[in-house]
Amino acid sequence: MQKLKKIKWKHYVNYIAVGLATIVLTVLALTGQLKSSDLVLLEKIAISIILAVSLSMVVGFLGELSLGHAGFMCVGAYLGGKAAFILEPLVGDIPALILSLLIGGAIAAVFGVIIGLPALRLRGDYLAIVTLAFGEIVRSIFMNSSSDTFGGALGLQTPRFDKDYLFIIAFVLVLVCLAISQNLIRSKHGRAITSIRDNEIAAKATGINVTKYKLIVFTVSSFFAGIAGVLYSYSNTKVQSSTFDYNYSIEILVMVVLGGMGSISGSIIAATLITFLTTALQTILTGDLAILQNILYALILIVLVIYNNAPALKSFRAKYDIKNLLKKFHKHDPSNVHDDEAKWDRVPTKIQMDEVLTTDIQISSPYTPDKADKEEN
Amino acid sequence: MEFIKTLIDGLSIGSTYAMIALGYTMVYGIAKMLNFAHGDVIMVGGYAMYVALLACGQPILAVAAAVVFCTILGMTIEKIAYKPLRGASPLAVLITAIGVSLLLQSLAQIIFGSAPKMVTIVDLGNATIFGLSIPYSTFVTLACSVVIMLILTLFVKYTRTGRAMIAVSEDKEAAQLMGINVNKIITITFAIGSALAAFAGLFMLMKSPSLTNTLGAMPGIKAFTAAVIGGIGSIPGAMLGGLLMGVVEAISLKIPAIAPYTDAIEFLILIIILLVRPTGLIGKKRREKV
């Protein structure tokens, strides 16, 4: 029981949530409760989660704006899909899946390094434009390609995996992505990365190898975007470059911003929410009303970013922050003084200090200095 | 002979890019932010001209109305979306700018529909010089751009407000200490930039009268590229960069082998210049302090 108490459960919340969801959904699928449209929705949610978590590594933790995330997904989708197409008759279903995932992810990671190299020298604004340009270039290259290699404007045909259980594989990949991302962020490397976000020159002066960490983040992020792309090509048998446009990159960015930049759990929740709403409302919002979705995204971006970052709203934010609201439910016991945890994340007010200083501390094992040692006698 | 035509075409496209780039570079130099929504102000100017033409039919009045509308729009966007974030991290401002850009595009799509609108401001026809058939609008664009850029340069150099703008772009805190109202200067900058964007919209519509809600997106990005190539924060740099980009684009479009990759080539030039000479062709070196 002691060991259970010592585990920091909040570190594993993400794994537990996704794992439980997978188990529940698998049971539902096995008993036939889920329609095929639900299965497609689940695959889409998994893809969105992987994309949002990988983008949040670049935007939320490294602090660089990357508008070309859909471009990496496009690379992964086309190359992974093509690889699957070629490999499946040769090696069979599952090995082809694994190999094409690795191929799609690896090539997307190569492109991630290529994009990361200018990132080393460019400030944030320029990098946004360069990543945007990259997304457009990749899309136009695949669109203008010949029909034999990548299907040209009509798109590429890819094999469809056993459609009932693709979502399980997708969620397993979500867990893998979570594992790698969380372990990277919750380590000294992750702290180095966030320090680059907070003040790059100070980080360099402290001895952090900014080049190495920027390249690592871009590579890992684009690797997972590529994997999401390969999953997409398995989920939709047709891969068209027009899907991976600038608007899709913005949609992923909205998921990251909505979830809170610098929060992996937030990205997961926001990705699920947005994908679910988009698919659920797809039947209701047709034609011109679909633009309402874009307006909603734009308003989310503007309002949330201004609310979270405006210097003038700082006091307002401190009052209505979710963490502070929840603290009201947690009764504060001032005699409970933990010596081994320093909780000075906020400078305490005078009222709090008085509370702490006026309580009597219960001593568990009294030290009486008058007892002489037996050896001295 | 064809080469001369391509060159003149290039200069005409380039001067349009130069006008948009001027807006980008002034806002970047003075407010230190990249206004992603600048390209979409062009589009809004185009739609304003469309509405004004429907209302009154006079081209000059329509253009004037569009310029005024764009100026007010620019100042409003700055007040609502960018001013609250003064002092926040550049990433936040960038994301907000993207949000504003998306909002403008979607609003235009909802109000006016997705079908392209035909906006013929004035049909001038073609001139035949030395056997080449060049549309009059090209010359009008070139002439107007030169005049506007001259006025802007004189304004920035010889008026108090212009010199105040240069001061704010060099050192905002010192300018405040000297008694310059930085908020007013930033608002004026956005106003001038948006007015220039309206003119750029006019020139683009004179060239090809089809107006959609994504009219300004690509030219906006290319104009930012031009501003960076010329040296961001420098007015002659924006003009030079714009003309350069225009000529490169015109030449590249003429060669059928690389025509589909024109956009890629222009961005490649951006990346090369940023890696080789990050401050651009005319830009000044800036020291970064912790």
Beta bridge partners of A238: A157
Dist. CA B50–CA B63, nearest whole Å: 9
A343 burial level (CB within 10 Å; 0-12, 13-18, 19+): exposed
Q: B281 is written with which tokens?
A: 């062709």
Q: What is the pLDDT of residues B183-197, one digit of tens each?
A: 999 999 999 999 999
3-class SS shares of chain B: helix, strand, coil, % to 5: 75, 5, 20
Q: Are A221 and A112 in contact (CB under 8 A)?
A: yes
Interface predicted TM-score of the whole assembly (ipTM), two decimals: 0.85
> How far is Cα of residue B131 from the mean position of the Cα atoms in its chain?
33
Q: Which residue did the predictor score with more confidence, A346 or B130? A: B130
The whole-number average pLDDT for the span B84-100 is: 88
CB contact under 8 Å between B33 and A125, yes or no, is yes
Q: Are A215 and A97 in contact (CB under 8 A)?
A: no
Q: What is the pLDDT of residues B266-290, one digit of tens each?
A: 888 887 887 788 777 887 665 555 5
Place of tokens 């190539």: B229
The whole-number average pLDDT for the span B56-85 is: 90
Quick one: pLDDT at residue B76?
94
Give phi and psi for B289, each to the nearest 5.
-110, 155
Contacts of A350 (CB under 8 A, 6+ apart): none
Beta bridge partners of B127: B134
Dist. CA A50–CA A62, nearest whole Å: 17
Quick one: pLDDT at residue A284?
66
Please report which confidence band the pLDDT of residue B145 belongs to, taking 50, 70 and 90 as the band edges: confident
Percent residues over pLDDT 90 in chain B: 32
Quick one: pLDDT at residue A216?
93
Quick one: pLDDT at residue A376?
45
Among residues 133-172 of chain A, which lie with CB inside 8 Å of chain B? 133-134, 136-137, 140-141, 144
* Chain A: closest CA distance from residue B83 (Å): 9
Asked if the C-beta of A294 comes within 8 angstroms of chain B's C-beta atoms, the answer is yes
Quick one: pLDDT at residue A51?
96
Place of tokens 């970013």: A305
CB contact under 8 Å between B96 and A306, yes or no, is yes
> How far is Cα of residue A16 from the mean position of the Cα atoms in its chain?
16
Dist. CA A82–CA B110, nearest whole Å: 38
Quick one: pLDDT at residue A156?
62
Dist. CA A213–CA A190, nearest whole Å: 9
The pLDDT averaged over each successive group of 10 residues in chain A (377 residues) is 69 85 84 79 92 94 90 90 80 81 93 83 80 85 72 60 78 92 90 89 92 92 94 83 87 91 89 88 66 87 88 76 62 56 57 68 64 50
Helix (H) or strand (E) holding B227: helix B217-230
Q: A203 is written with which tokens?
A: 């980080």
Half-sphere exposure of A177 (CA within 13 A, CB side): 34
Q: Which residue did the predictor score with more confidence, B72 or A348? A: B72
Give phi and psi for A20, each to the nearest 5.
-60, -45
Please report which confidence band the pLDDT of residue B67 belongs to, taking 50, 70 and 90 as the band edges: very high
Contacts of B98 in chain A (CB under 8 A): 67, 250, 253, 301
Contacts of A198 (CB under 8 A, 6+ apart): A63
